Amino acid sequence: MAPRVLVSDALSEAAVQIFKDRGIDVDFQPKLGKDKEKLLEIIGQYDGLAIRSATKATEKLIEAATNLKVIGRAGIGVDNVDIPAASRRGIIVMNTPFGNSITTAEHAISLMLAVARQIPAADASTQAGKWEKSKFMGVEITGKTLGVIGAGNIGSIVCNRALGLKMNVIAYDPFLSQDRAEKMGVTKVELDELLAKADFITLHVPMTDKTRGILNAEALAKTKKGVRIINCARGGLVDEAALAEAIKSGHVAGAGFDVFETEPATESPLFGLENVVCTPHLGASTTEAQENVALQVADQMSDYLLKGAVSNAINMPSISADEAPRLKPVIKLAEVLGGFAGQVTESPIKQVEVLYDGIFADMNTTALTSAMLAGLLRPVVADVNMVSAPIMVKDKGIILQEAKRDKSGVYDGYIKLTITTEKQTRSVAGTVFSDGKPRFIQIKGINMDADVGRHMIYIANTDVPGMIGFMGSTLGDAGVNIANFQLGRDNQGGDAIALLYVDEEPKQEVLDKLLAHPAIKQAKPLEFAVE
């Protein structure tokens, strides 16, 4: 059955056609995003949701979207999507960060020019029959210094355009290297230096805890007298009340704003001030940009639903269309290894080491490690996913180490996970054979070759005679059928392990009977999400 996608906002019909051409069952209802109740009623029918800004993917909607696998936002901003709620449900959230970059950059330049020459106020005055030539004395931008906060995708385009206008460009961006700055033709500076030197300041950063209020009252006080502020990025990056006071005092000469702390912005401290130019979030509003982002989101969502490829995802590592088919079974292996360690480990984890050997070392290990960590934490945090897992591990103070090496054994490649707790260090390794199914190849340094089943029992014991018979009879007496049985030992009379693949989850009373044997140290029920 073909995946179903709902388009609930006014996307280009060319984008709708892309879904159809790719074999996706698409339902184009461009006005549905504004009908919350109707959308809530039908969302459970769809695998994908393609939106612009009108549709609000709230926690309530996401909870009702029982089959939803991906939300695609045609545009950059995902403020209308509850990303934590989507992540908890395992729903990928994609945006299109490049489709409207040029359009947004051009709007920033347009606002800068409009503020420099007071064009909107002069237009209104002239069309009102006034001829106030002396009132609207502007400033040139040639030779002026433009301070760019955020020199990423959009910011770099703004830099390029400003250089073409013969401006001096300085940029503040913690991730901007000196080499990259030189190639762009800009001067890399710290924020305080930018504030002190810039005649114009434009912002091109995402909204994060670190960037919220980056131009607050304190920062504005450090700016050069007569500076002009442009914000086409995100409302809340600039403290609007503080900026309004700075404009009223004459310290800031003007501002051009396309985004606001509250949108739709029906009121703002900036409204009504002289030489403040405001637009209703038009940064991405050109025919070309709207078409580009719509086509891009349709392609991205189709690639994911049909191939498992992940691009421009907010809450998951990217997986290219080429690598997705071969990576999928390895991601499952990583989840299984993490899940095994998480289920058998009984004391707090201090360190996690992951070794990628052979063919697995050349794969997308970021995605693999994220999947493994999700499996590791899932026994105690049910809603963890590939996005939240690395963050949780870091927050818990767990040390994560990753290593890669060339083929070193009989297998073309394998993954080995080593967990260090306050009490001990334990490892588990596995690989994927040609059938695409994960297999355990080593546990606690003991070699084996074990299928992975939905329900399993892990037994750690001392190597003594009669153990196989005891395990078999105990489970048999309880009506538990064994599908597969693998065991191994480090040496005669030493540590031994058994891994049993059973048809159903064993009851606690069965496990208690196993543990009653003096040689059995641990008997753990395991569950894996495998077919």
Q: Which residues are catalytic?
A: 234, 263, 281
What does the block give as tokens for 195? Answer: 């504030």
Whole-number Cα distances in Å, 438 to 53, 317, 332, 361, 433: 41, 21, 7, 17, 7
What does the block give as tokens for 171? Answer: 């940029």
Contacts of 290 (CB under 8 A, 6+ apart): 12, 74, 100, 284
Tokens 């009623």 map to which residue? 41
Nearest CA to 438 among 338, 344, 365, 330?
330
- Which CB contacts under 8 angstroms, 24+ apart, belong to 186-189? 186/148, 186/151, 186/159, 189/147
**First-last CA distance in the chain:** 19
CA–CA dist 417, 24 (Å, integer): 38
Contacts of 506 (CB under 8 A, 6+ apart): 455, 457, 475, 478, 480, 525
Report DSSP state, residue 6.
E
**Preceding peptide of 264 cis, ω within 30°:** yes
Contacts of 303 (CB under 8 A, 6+ apart): 309, 311, 321
Q: How far is CA 270 from the centre of its chain?
A: 34
